[in-house]
Amino acid sequence: MRTVEVAGRGDIEVRGVQYDSRKVSAGDVFVAMRGGTTDGNEFIDAAIRKGAAAVVTDSLEKFVDLRTQQPELALALVDREANGGRRALAEISSAVFGAPEKRLKVSAVTGTNGKTTTAFLLEQMLKSVGRKCLLLGTIETHVGDVVRESEHTTPESRDVLALFAEGVRAGCTEVVMEMSSHALEQERVWGIPVDVAMFTNLTQDHLDYHGTMGKYAAAKARLFEGVGTGAPRVSVINADDAYGSTMKDAAAGVETVWTYGHRVEADFLARNVVLSALGATFDLVTPDGMREVRSPLFGWFNVDNLIAAMAAAIACGLTLDEAVRCAATIRSAPGRFEPVPNELGITVVVDYAHTDDALENVIGFARRLVGEGRVITMFGCGGDRDKTKRPKMGRVAAQGSDLVVVTSDNPRSENPMTIIEEILVGVRETEVECVVEVDRRVAIEVAIRAARAGDIVLLAGKGHEKTQTFAGGVVAFDDVAEAERVLLAIKAGVRT
């Protein structure tokens, strides 16, 4: 943190730290910074009224005004261009919460696809040998055995460190966390010393924020350089991915760099892979020898996720045999190729795939899994996000499926039909049968009722999510629950 100037009292007692004025209590430091959509400096007066004992601001104008109007208030001005607000938030939070990041071993995973699953798998491996873990991810936060829903993939540093402190109090010794490109770019993870860093892959996503694939990759690469800390001790990098070499270059200061994959030579290499409806079997070649791995996880994508987690687990101190034993009973994350049980002979699967690469992977596996049956894919694309991937997703869905149902995902502020029309540009490059149904609830029913025994229905895009976001607000919505409703109605002979 680069402090430009300080003013006011210097002998205050700090009781807490906040960046949201609504949560300020007496004695808190309020850190005000400009964000992408809001400017925290607009809420300084509200924070002071609630009892803020000190203010850190990245606005020179506000600093000068406060210094004049409230000369007794403890103030600090930080450099906005150097991301001083977020760095200040991280450093003050560390001090307030007793530096919990220094009392935990942190394993972090970044990548477009596979972050959530890889984090879930690594946590299970660590727990299998008695480690008590804190998990921070897209779907859930785990503090030991306590599970709660996550609001963000990677929260602001103040909230991350508060969770770290809770984990320490609960006896956790390990953290497994997802680090999104946004969090790395915005330095929401500033000052967190990562012990083991993992890279899964990089495909087109979030270009509405990063602008180019080069900038997107550079944001991910910061994990391997260290964000306000030294480089990680061990890096685990997907050698099969085109951006693996970029991450290896960024990991120049890392003590041990391991690669993994199944296509090119790597430190952890899957050979003789057999995929089936029962899971995956393969020979894993490692620096510690070769072992046969049997896992209930489906698909090539999960083979990669599992190898990454096994390599990271070994970096964390597990033996190869311990990792192999855990792989035999491991489970995937909710909403990741999650089957919806039924007695109709139809395979219905919910998956979070929301990029063209992820969608192509899950459809490809569904095709191999279903044999002579048909693949029916229902999906949409999120609003207020990268528009260029919409026709690409339409194309890969149509190329791999026998029937495509195009619907809404989270339209947010956009017109749902505008999004659908952009998807259809790619679909129309093929001859596949396509149904358009803007209402996702109805679209799920259309897709499932179109299936016959032996077919597979893939409900893609939202996975674990329990809501749907429109311009008018957020409504409760669960793909799994909707699929269960339709399947029960079909079994009962009812039209809903």
* 267-270 LR contacts (CB < 8 Å, sep 24+): 267/311, 268/236, 268/307, 268/310, 268/311, 270/303, 270/307
Distance CA 47, CA 28 (A): 9
User: Rounded distance, CA 277 to CA 123, Å?
Assistant: 25
**Same domain, yes or no, for 320 and 467?**
no
Other C-beta atoms closer than 10 Å to the C-beta of 388 total 11
Q: Quick check: is 333 in a domain?
A: no
Contacting residues for 354 by C-beta, under 8 A, at least 6 apart: 205, 381, 382, 409, 460, 461, 462
CA 292 to CA 295: how far, in whole Å?
Answer: 10
Per-residue pLDDT of the chain in tens (496 residues, 90 and over written 9): 555 556 656 667 889 999 999 999 999 999 999 987 789 999 999 999 999 999 999 999 999 999 999 998 999 999 998 889 999 999 999 999 999 999 999 999 999 999 999 999 999 999 999 999 999 988 899 999 999 988 777 789 999 999 999 999 999 999 999 999 989 999 999 999 999 999 999 987 766 676 798 999 999 999 999 999 999 999 999 999 999 999 999 999 999 999 999 999 999 999 999 988 788 999 999 999 999 999 999 888 899 999 999 999 999 999 999 999 999 999 988 898 888 989 999 999 999 999 998 899 899 989 988 889 999 999 999 999 999 999 999 999 999 999 999 999 999 999 999 999 999 999 999 999 999 999 999 999 999 999 999 999 999 999 999 999 999 999 999 999 999 999 999 999 887 6
User: Cα–Cα distance between 400 and 167 in angstroms, integer?
Assistant: 44
Confirm whether 119 is domain-assigned: yes
Task: Provide the domain limits for residue 182.
Answer: 99-327
Within 10 A of 26 (CB to CB), how many other CB atoms are there? 10
In a domain, 280, yes or no: yes
Helix (H, G, I), strand (E, B) or coil at 141: strand
> Is 332 a member of any domain?
no
List all residues 6 or more positions away from 478 whose beta carbon is below 8 Å from its beta carbon: 465, 466
Query: In the listed set 327, 354, 381, which residue is the last one of a domain according to the structure?
Result: 327
Contacts of 145 (CB under 8 A, 6+ apart): none
CA 277 to chain centre: 26
Alpha-carbon gap, residue 412 to 32, rounded angstroms: 27
Q: Which two tokens stand for residue 303?
A: 């083979």
In a domain, 350, yes or no: yes
Looking at the structure, tell me whether residues 261 and 140 fall in a common domain.
Answer: yes
Q: 130 and 86, same structural domain?
A: no
pLDDT of residue 351: 94
Q: Could you give the dihedral angle defined by the CA atoms of residues 373, 375, 376 and 378, in that order, rounded to the nearest 10 degrees? A: 160
CATH number of the domain within which 133 lies? 3.40.1190.10
Strands (DSSP E) found in 316-449: 338-339, 347-351, 375-379, 403-406, 433-436
Distance between the two ends of the chain, CA-based, in angstroms?
A: 58
Same domain, yes or no, for 106 and 90?
no
Q: Which of 95, 124, 154 is the last residue of a domain?
A: 95
- 279 and 367 co-located in one domain: no
| Residues 231 and 104 reside in one and the same domain | yes
- Nearest-CA neighbor of 20 among 35, 40, 39? 40
Beta pairing class for 256-261 and 140-143? unpaired
Same domain assignment for residues 134 and 233: yes
Q: Which amino acid is at 36?
A: G
Answer whether 142's CB lies under 8 Å from 101's CB. no
- What's the maximum distance between 2 C-alpha atoms anywhere in the chain? 77
Residue with the two structure tokens 């894993």: 284
Whole-structure pTM value: 0.84
Within a domain: residue 422?
yes
The confidence score (pLDDT) of residue 495 equals 77
DSSP 365-412: HHHHHHTTS-EEEEE---TTS-STHHHHHHHHHHHH-SEEEE--S--T
pLDDT of residue 14: 87
Say yes or no: 113 and 29 in one domain.
no
Can you give the CATH number for the domain in which 42 is found? 3.40.1390.10
| pLDDT at site 336 | 87
333-365 tens-digit pLDDT: 889 888 898 999 999 999 999 999 889 989 998
Tokens, residue 369: 């899994």
Which residues are CB-neighbours of 202 under 8 A, at least 6 positions away? Answer: 111, 112, 213, 216, 217, 220, 241, 242, 243, 246
Listed in sequence order, the residues at least 6 apart from 423 whose beta carbon sits closer than 8 Å to its beta carbon are 380, 381, 390, 391, 393, 394, 406
User: Beta strands 133-136 and 174-178: pairing type?
Assistant: parallel
CATH code where residue 429 lies:
3.90.190.20
The tally of domains found in the chain comes to 3
Q: Answer with the one of 95, 121, 153 that is the final residue of a domain.
A: 95
* DSSP annotation string for 50-93: TT-SEEEES-HHHHHHHHHH-TTSEEEEE-TTTTHHHHHHHHHH
**Whats the size of the chain, residue-wise?**
496
Q: Provide the pLDDT for residue 110.
A: 97
Token representation of residue 373: 């049956």
